[in-house]
Structures are given as C-alpha cells and as structure tokens.
C-alpha cells in the first residue's frame, strides 16, 4: 500500500512552511510597500511610474527619451504614455535636442520640480509606514541586509 505524505509526516503544515520562506515574506513585504506608496502617490493624482520618470529627469535632464527609457527600464511604448501624461500636466517639456534634432530632450518644468518634491515626501511617508514596526537600529540593519540580498542577484 502506497503511503501519501501528510502534514504530520513533514512536521509542519505545507502552507505554513511556504509562508515562512524568505521569498514569500519578501514578496508580501514588497506588495505591501507598493500598495502603500501607490496609495500615497494617488493622493496627488500620480502613479509610481510618474514618480520614477520625474526623478530620472531631475537627475539626468535634459535627457533623451530613449536614454530615459533605458535608465528607468520602462518599455518604450509605456514611456511614451507616461511622458504624454506628464506633459499634459505641464510637469515636463519635450523639445528638440540641440545636439541631435531628431531626438527630444525631456526637461522638468518648475511645476514638475514642485510635484516631484511632493511625491518624494509622500513616498517617504509611505516607506516610513512600511517600516513603522521596526526601531531605527532595526531599520538600518534591515535595509543593509536587503541591499546585500539584492546585490547578490
């Protein structure tokens, strides 16, 4: 007679074991973090890709659209939509690149800079909420350990 594996055989329920794995916990923490940041940015009528692109333009601008896509990792079709939305809100400008008139140079407007500052504050508050259960020392250790895990990949 064949013996089937039971929870008692394993010593621990299968689902409980899966839910204690680092990959499971990191995924759950990541989902919670995305939800908190997404909800925070939505208070200002924005989404996470808007924040990422505004941040990249602030760091790199004026920047070619293709370079912006490579830097942020967004698909070119998605980048066009994001830039259209940001331009419609007058947060960026697109102008011919003086060094190559075939390309557009993306630049933050003054309102784009102000909006980026607000989004950064909202994102910081959301990340504060994400780590609110940890003491300052635990937060530093947690972030150091996460960075090491990420750097291994």
Rounded to 5°, the CA angle 123-125-130 comes to 95
| pLDDT band with cut points at 50, 70 and 90 for residue 13 | confident
Residues 77-103, mean pLDDT to the nearest whole number: 91
Structure confidence at residue 9 (pLDDT): 54
Calculate what percentage of the chain has a pLDDT beyond 90.
Answer: 80
- Give the pLDDT score at 104: 83
Cα 105 from Cα 152, distance rounded (Å): 35
Residue 107's pLDDT is: 95
Higher pLDDT, 59 or 99: 59
pLDDT value, residue 99:
77
Alpha helices in 94-135 (DSSP H): 110-130
Rounded mean pLDDT of the chain?
91
pLDDT of residue 101: 77
- Please determine, for residue 3, whether its predicted confidence score (pLDDT) is greater than 70: no
pLDDT value of position 153: 64
Q: Give the pLDDT of residue 77.
A: 92
Higher pLDDT, 65 or 101: 65
Span 79-93, average pLDDT: 96
With 90 as the cut, is the pLDDT of residue 71 above it?
Answer: yes
Q: What is the pLDDT of residue 5?
A: 52
In sequence order, what DSSP letters do the residues of 13-56 get, joined into one string?
-HHHHHHTSHHHHHHHHHHHHHHHHHHHHHTTT--HHHHHHHHH
Query: In terms of pLDDT, which residue wins out, 97 or 75?
Result: 75
pLDDT value at position 81? 95
- What are 107's strand-pairing partners? 93
């Amino acid at each position: 007679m064949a013996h089937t594996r039971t929870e008692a055989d394993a010593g621990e329920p299968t689902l409980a074991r899966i839910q204690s794995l680092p990959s499971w916990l990191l995924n759950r923490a990541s989902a919670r973090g995305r939800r908190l940041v997404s909800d925070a940015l939505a208070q200002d009528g924005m989404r996470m890709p808007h924040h990422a692109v505004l941040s990249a333009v602030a760091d790199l601008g004026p920047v070619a659209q293709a370079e912006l896509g490579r830097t942020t990792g967004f698909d070119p079709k998605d980048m066009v939509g994001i830039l259209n939305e940001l331009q419609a809100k007058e947060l960026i400008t697109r102008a011919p690149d003086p060094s190559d008139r075939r390309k557009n140079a993306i630049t933050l407007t003054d309102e784009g800079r102000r909006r980026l500052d607000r989004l950064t504050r909202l994102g910081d508050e959301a990340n504060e909420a994400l780590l609110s259960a940890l003491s300052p020392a635990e937060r530093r250790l947690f972030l150091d350990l996460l960075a090491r895990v990420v750097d291994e990949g």
